[in-house]
Amino acid sequence: MKNKKIILMETRSVKKKRLLHEIYASFSCGEDRISDLPDAVIHHILFFLPIKSIAKLSVLSKRWRHIWHTFPDLDFTTINVPSTSSSSGYYNLTSKVSSYVRNNYKKFHANCTSSGGADFIDQVLSFREKNSGIRVLRFHANLSFSRLNALIRGAVKHNVQELDVEVATNDYFNFPRSAITSESLRVFNLKSKYPGFRLPPSSIMKNGFKNLFSLSLSCLIMYEQPSLRDLFTETSFPLLKKLSLDGCTGLTYLHVSCRVLANLNLENCFQLENLDIMCPKLEKLSVKSCFDSYTSGTEVKIVGPRLKSIVWSNNTITDQSCLEDLTCLIEAFVGFFVLLEDIGTMKLRSVNDFLSGLSHSHSLVLENPSVEILSKNNHLAGISLRPFSELKSLELHTGFHKHNIPGLANLFRSSPATNTLILNITNEHNIQRRKWNRDLWQLSNSGEERFWESQSNAMNSFLQHLKVVKIHGFSECESDVSLVKFLLKHGKVLQEMFLCVAELSKSRDSLHREKIKSQIMGFSKASCNAKIVFK
C-alpha cells in the first residue's frame, strides 16, 4: 500500500510538471493553443496544479489573468507546495515568457506565505471578477475571528458552494453567521483547533442552511446550550445528506432526524449520554469514542430501515440499547470499551439488545472485549442472542483463553448460515494459557475439548455451512488447537483452514511447533476437501 501511494504521488508530480511545461512551451513556440480553449476546459486543466502555480500563470497574458480571476476551485491548503527549490525545475525554459515568470516569482511567494496565507486569500478574493462564482474554497490558517469572518463573507459574496476551513484562534469564537445564511453553500467543513467555537442560538441556526448537503464540525463547544440538542432535524436541515461531528464538548444529548440524511459520523464526543437517531434514509453510521465510562443512565436508540453499514467502536456500554428496523444492514463493526468487572446485569442486557439489533447483518466484526462480555453475559444473565440468520462472514478479535470459550460458542450457535469465520487472537501477557500436548491432554482429560463436543448438536447448522476458517495469531495453546480440532472434525463442508502463526510462537522451539503442525494435519476431518494452510 505504501509503495502504491509513493508511485501515485510521483505520478501526480510528473503530471503537474508536464502541464506547466506544456503551458509555457505553447507561449515559447509562438503558437498558444491552450489559450484558445474555453474557460471551463482550462479551469479543469489547472485544477490539477497547486494554487500558487496557477497564480503565477496569470502574468502570461490578459487572457490568463482573466482565467486566474475566474478560477472556481481555490485550494489554499497547497499554499506551501511546491517550495522554491522544488519549483525551480518548472522555470528552466529559455523563452522570454519563463523569464518574466521568474522575475515575478518573489512577489507571488511573499503574498502566498504571509500570515499563513491569509493575505494572499484576501488578495485573491478582492481581485475576483464580478459574477465569478467560487465552487470550492479551502484554507488552513491561524488568524483572528474577525479575519475569519471577513474571509468567509467574501466567499459567500461569490456564491461559494463548498467551504473547507481549518482554523486556529487565540480564543473561543462564534460560528460564522454569513455561512448560515448563504443560499449557495452546499458543503461546509469547519475544523477548529483548541479552544474551539460555539454555535449561535437555535433560532438563528434553524433559519439557515436550507440548501446544505454536507456539514462537518470539529471542536464544537455546546455547554449550556440545551436548545441546540434538537438542531439536526428535517426542519433545520431539509437537504442534509452527510453530517460529521468530532470532538464536541458539552454535548450530552443528541437527536438526529434529518429526512434525507445518508451518512452520519460521530467521534470523540465523550460526554454523550443519550443518542437518538431516527433517519429513514440513513445508510452509513459511525460512532467512535463516544459516551463516558463513568456516566450512568446512558441510552442509545437507532431506527434506520435503510442502514447498510454501522461502525460502533471504542464506546462504553450504554445502560439501554434499542436498535430497530435495521433490515437492510450489510456490515457491522462493534467494539466496546469497558472494564469487565464493572459490568452488571443491566449492561449485559444492553449488549444483548444491541447485538440483537444487528441480527440482519451479512458481515459482523466484533472487537475486544466483545467475546469476553458475551461469555460473562451467558454466565450471569442467561441471555441468548437473537440468531444472525443472514450472517455470511463473522470476524472476532479476542484474547482467546478458556474463560471466553462460552462467548465463542454463543456466537457460533447464533450464526447458523455463516460460511467464513475469521479469528484474530490477541496476545494477553497477564493470561496464562496452557500449551497443547497431545500426550498429556487426551479427550477424556481436556475440559475444553469436552465442552466443544457438547456443543456439536447446538452448532449443527453453523458447522454445516462453514467453508473458510482463518485464525490469525494462532499458537500452540490448548484453546487454539482444541477449536481447530473441533472444526475439522465436524465441519462437513469445510474447504480451507488458514492458520497464521503468532509472532511469539515463531520465536519458540521450532521442533515443538513442527510437531504440533504434524498432529493437526493428522486430525480427523469431516470434509475430504478440507485444506489446511500454515502461514
Q: Which residue type is seen at 521?
A: M
pLDDT for the residue 129: 74
In contact, 296 and 320? CB cutoff 8 Å = no
pLDDT for the residue 432: 52
Q: How far apart are CA 241 and CA 215, in angstroms?
A: 9
pLDDT for the residue 254: 94
Torsion of CA 388, 391, 395, 399, to 10 degrees: 20
Beta pairing partners, 331: 309, 363
CA angle 277, 279, 284 (to 5 degrees): 85
Kindly report the pTM of this predicted structure: 0.82
pLDDT for the residue 495: 97
pLDDT for the residue 95: 38
pLDDT for the residue 121: 83
- Phi and psi angles of residue 13, each rounded to the nearest 5 degrees, phi first: -60, -45
SS3 content of the chain, % helix, strand, coil (to 5): 40, 20, 40
Quick one: CA dihedral 493, 498, 504, 505, positive or negative?
positive
pLDDT for the residue 35: 73
- Tens place of pLDDT per residue across the chain (535 aa): 444 444 444 455 665 556 656 555 555 555 566 777 888 888 888 888 888 888 887 777 788 888 888 889 999 887 753 333 333 333 333 333 334 334 443 444 444 444 446 777 888 888 887 778 899 999 988 888 888 888 999 899 999 999 999 998 888 888 888 999 899 999 999 999 878 898 888 888 888 888 999 999 999 998 887 777 788 998 889 999 999 999 999 999 999 999 999 999 999 999 999 999 999 999 999 999 998 867 788 999 999 999 999 999 999 999 999 999 999 999 999 999 877 666 778 888 899 899 999 999 999 999 988 888 888 755 444 457 889 999 999 999 988 877 888 889 989 999 999 999 999 998 765 455 566 555 544 444 567 888 999 999 999 999 999 999 999 998 878 888 899 999 999 999 999 999 998 766 555 567 777 888 888 999 999 999 999 999 8
Least Cα distance to 269 among 324, 205, 315 occurs for: 315
Residue 323 neighbours by CB under 8 Å, 6+ apart: 300, 301, 302, 353, 354, 356, 357, 358
pLDDT for the residue 508: 59
Q: How far apart are CA 27 and CA 29, in angstroms?
A: 6
3-state SS assignment for residue 421: strand
pLDDT for the residue 100: 36
Least Cα distance to 517 among 476, 463, 473, 459 occurs for: 476
pLDDT for the residue 363: 98
- Tell me how far the alpha carbon of residue 324 is from its chain's centroid: 23
Burial class (CB in 10 A: 0-12, 13-18, 19+), 454: exposed
pLDDT for the residue 99: 42
